[in-house]
Amino acid sequence: MSAATLYIIATPIGNLEDMTYRAVRILGEVDLVAAEDTRHSLKLLTHFGISKSMTSYFDHNQQFKGERILNMLRQGKSVALISDAGTPCISDPGYQLVRDAVAEGIPVIPVPGACAAVAALSASGLPSDNFTFAGFPPSRQGKRRSFLKEMAKLPGTLVLYEAPHRLEETLRDMLEVLGERHVVVARELTKIYEELIRGSVSQVLETVSQGKVRGEIVILIEPGEKIEPESLSLEETLQTLMRDDALSLKDAAKKAAEITGVSRSEAYSAALKLRDEA
């Protein structure tokens, strides 16, 4: 255990068996545990037989509580930051505290574990080599649709969090803005009623509208169709380049070869032909 260290510790998102041995050990060794909800986190610590001094750290008190936590770190104490579930700082409080600790040269050590976004992505069947996690979309429809329009421009799978009472509204906006993409709605991950609903937006919307949706929600949206820019022919490329007086015939041919993928000799011959015909 290192003194004057801030540990960012992931906690289970449902199943307590997903708590890592390392997380349990460090929580038992630190001087203070900063928790999003101390009552909720006390149950977790009690389950693992950990008795530890705790303080709350959440969105509405992070400014003054953050300073108190930093003071402890400055005094050489070790602090563990945990959220109600999953990895702190991922759509949860913690970013400001980490930023301030780093600015003062205080070591920040991640203790990885459960993360709903990554867990859902791994089981979604959607491309995972390139994805964007965008947290919660805006709650108001106008801003949410604008948000989705911006997200539609990004490559890769889109991963969102959503509150259960707004799920249907968000799916309707997705249908309007993104169209019939394939989506996965993951709920209650690692818990008894874990469910992954797959299908087109309208199919998933029909499923979730049949009953009251409960629990934390992760929405995964397949990438949109990649629109390749229309490529110019060798002749068109050369004509464009040769209008640039700064380029010699040879340089124009070289650049055209790079753009179109033909050999330099072919590009040079075509450039000569165009020059002679001019």
Q: How confident is the model at residue 29 (pLDDT cuts 50, 70, 90)?
A: very high
> Does the global pTM surpass 0.85?
no
Return the CATH superfamily for domain 117-221: Tetrapyrrole methylase, C-terminal domain (3.30.950.10)
Angle, helices 264-277 vs 249-260, to 10°: value is: 130
Which range is least confidently modeled, 174-183, 212-221, 228-237, 241-250? 228-237
Can you tell me the mean pLDDT for 37-61? 93
CATH architecture of 6-114: 3-Layer(aba) Sandwich (3.40)
Q: pLDDT tens across 221-234, in order?
A: 999 865 444 567 88
pLDDT at 246: 64
Domain boundaries, the chain: 6-114, 117-221, 234-277
